[in-house]
Amino acid sequence: MMKPSEVADFERRLNGFIRAKPVWVARVPARLDVMGGIADYSGANVCQATLGAGVLAAVQARRDRLVRIRTERADGEGLPAETEFPLEEMEDAAGYESIRARFAAHSLASWAAYAGGSLVALLREEGIRPPAGFTLRLLATAPMNAGIASSAAVEISTLCALNAWLGLGLGADRIAQLGQIAENRVVGAPCGIMDQIAIASGRRGKLVHILCRPGSVEGRVDVPKGTGFVGITSMVRHSVAAAPYGEVRIGAFMGRRILNRLRKQKGLPPLSHLTELSGAELAAEERQVPRQMTGADFLARYRTHEDAATVIRPGTVYRIRGPVRHAVLENERVLRFMEALRSARSGDASGCAAAGREMLAAHESYRDECRLSVPEVDALVEAVRRIGPRKGLYGAKITGGGAGGTVAVFGRREALKKHIPGIAAEHARRMGTAPDVFGGTSPGAFEFGARRYAPRAGGWTWQAI
């Protein structure tokens, strides 16, 4: 359920809705990328946590055919942003490219592509024709561009609220797929489906194990008693739509294409995902994967990298071997990490330290193989490493698409409470402003469900649906 303060804050804001019609509400968490990160688009196993911060979406039908979207921070920071457009523009558009161009052409409304793109994906993929326009209000406790999947939280909360209002009965898997379509096709960010599944199917107090082929929940992992995870923002803005993330993704797909040509010559079946290879199998082949190659050279030799979400630029030099190594070895790190946590739950005191070492190794791979870390992030990870497992901090790593964003930290709860404020204060001295620290946990979208608020004399009443 929502935190009491979050409920009260939202219910105060219900006064902004027309009292003649019900309001449909969904709430989703932000996620903390504990392990797996950018290996998701290569078919990896990943392990994700739900955070206490999140996004709440509220939908109310209108009397006209307009769609009005308003977003605001729950803490009151920044000004609310609002835009509106005719529903017919989304229903009658020629394709995703034209919708992307419409949002991109209006810089003051480009933020609405996450929510508007989710609507478009629902309309196009499910053949939905809403009976009326609607007002969508988004209330966020998760900041944008912090590396905690706030964009996916906007997408999934929007889809869940529309799903409840329209009575569609769509499940968590389909909602996650639609969110990814919105981000890939309308926002233009070449993300995998990890974030959307984690937010839709996560559980309070547990890590969700996802196999990204293309995306299925394989189970949940208990967090060892007395331990927990927090996120510290690096204060360097992150975006999966930015060039470094996309170039690493392209390099990984280039590598798969090169390896598949080699496999064909040996009479072996093609790889659907890079992570079908083991680390040992890759070691036998990786010298035949070039360290880097220009887009023009690659296209001349291989024609395509077989990734619909990205476009190769002929003049760009892409690193290939490093992104391939990261994907394959990260997949194995995730499996070892989860096994270490399970051993810790069964009484093996060394399990937490082993899990922390896998997190630190994952960070080194982001930094060295993918070059997706930045000095500000490295400083946070190094601060955790210096304190170390003897004092209760087991490990840390960059999260999500990297290039800034948030650092995930694993430790004993009392150690997190004792040491994280000092690490944050040290980082504030470096950056000139205090970082956000994200802790806690909350239900995934489908664990929370949805609410229908109905007007009554003097206020509103609600029921779970």
Six token digits for residue 456: 């009554």
Q: Is the pLDDT of residue 18 over 70?
A: no
Q: Is the pLDDT of residue 169 over 70?
A: yes
Instruction: Calculate the average pLDDT of the chain.
Output: 89
- The mean per-residue pLDDT over the stretch 13-33 comes to 82
How far, CA to CA in Å, does 335 sit from each of 44, 279, 339? 10, 13, 6
Q: Is the pLDDT of residue 42 over 50?
A: yes
4-222+442-464 and 228-239+347-438, same CATH topology = no
Q: Is the pLDDT of residue 381 over 90?
A: yes
- The mean per-residue pLDDT over the stretch 108-114 comes to 74
Q: Of residues 465 and 134, which shows the higher confidence score? A: 134
CATH code of 4-222+442-464, in short, is 3.30.230.10
Six token digits for residue 239: 């975006």
Structure confidence at residue 259 (pLDDT) = 97
Q: Classify 228-239+347-438 by CATH class.
A: alpha beta
CA distance from start to end of the chain: 13
Q: Is the pLDDT of residue 6 over 80?
A: no
Task: Tally Cβ neighbours within 10 Å of residue 166.
Answer: 19
Phi, psi of 421 (to 5 degrees): -55, -40
pLDDT tens digits, residue range 290-310? Answer: 999 999 999 999 999 999 889
- The mean per-residue pLDDT over the stretch 115-135 comes to 92
Q: Is the pLDDT of residue 240 over 50?
A: no
- The mean per-residue pLDDT over the stretch 259-263 comes to 97
What is the Cα–Cα distance from 206 to 228, expressed in whole angstroms? 10
Structure confidence at residue 187 (pLDDT) = 86
Coil vs helix vs strand at 324: helix
Radius of gyration over alpha carbons of the chain, in Å?
A: 22
Q: Are 44 and 13 in contact (CB under 8 A)?
A: no
Structure confidence at residue 338 (pLDDT) = 97
pLDDT tens digits, residue range 207-231? Answer: 999 999 988 999 999 999 999 999 9
Q: Please identify which residue in the block is written with the tokens 């999934």.
A: 156
- The pLDDT confidence band at residue 397, using thresholds 50, 70 and 90, is very high
Structure confidence at residue 91 (pLDDT) = 82
- The pLDDT confidence band at residue 113, using thresholds 50, 70 and 90, is confident
What is the Cα–Cα distance from 344 to 367, expressed in whole angstroms? 28
Structure confidence at residue 1 (pLDDT) = 46
What is the Cα–Cα distance from 23 to 443, expressed in whole angstroms? 21
Amino acid at 20: A
Q: Are 69 and 115 in contact (CB under 8 A)?
A: yes
What does the domain layout of the chain look like in residue ranges? 4-222+442-464, 228-239+347-438, 243-324
Q: Is the pLDDT of residue 204 over 80?
A: yes
Amino acid at 376: E
Q: Is the pLDDT of residue 461 over 60?
A: yes
Q: What is the model's pTM? A: 0.87
- The mean per-residue pLDDT over the stretch 235-245 comes to 61
What is the Cα–Cα distance from 343 to 349, expressed in whole angstroms? 8
Structure confidence at residue 7 (pLDDT) = 57
Structure confidence at residue 24 (pLDDT) = 94
Structure confidence at residue 425 (pLDDT) = 95
Q: Of residues 277 and 146, which shows the higher confidence score? A: 277
- Asked if omega into 270 is within 30° of 0 (cis), the reply is no
Query: In this predicted structure, which of 316-325, 419-428, 450-459 has the lowest mean pLDDT?
Result: 450-459
Q: Of residues 395 and 13, which shows the higher confidence score? A: 395
- The pLDDT confidence band at residue 238, using thresholds 50, 70 and 90, is very low
Overall residue count recorded for the chain in this entry: 465
Q: Is the pLDDT of residue 78 over 70?
A: no
Residue whose C-alpha is closest to residue 195's, from 415, 404, 444, 426:
444
Q: Of residues 427 and 149, which shows the higher confidence score? A: 427
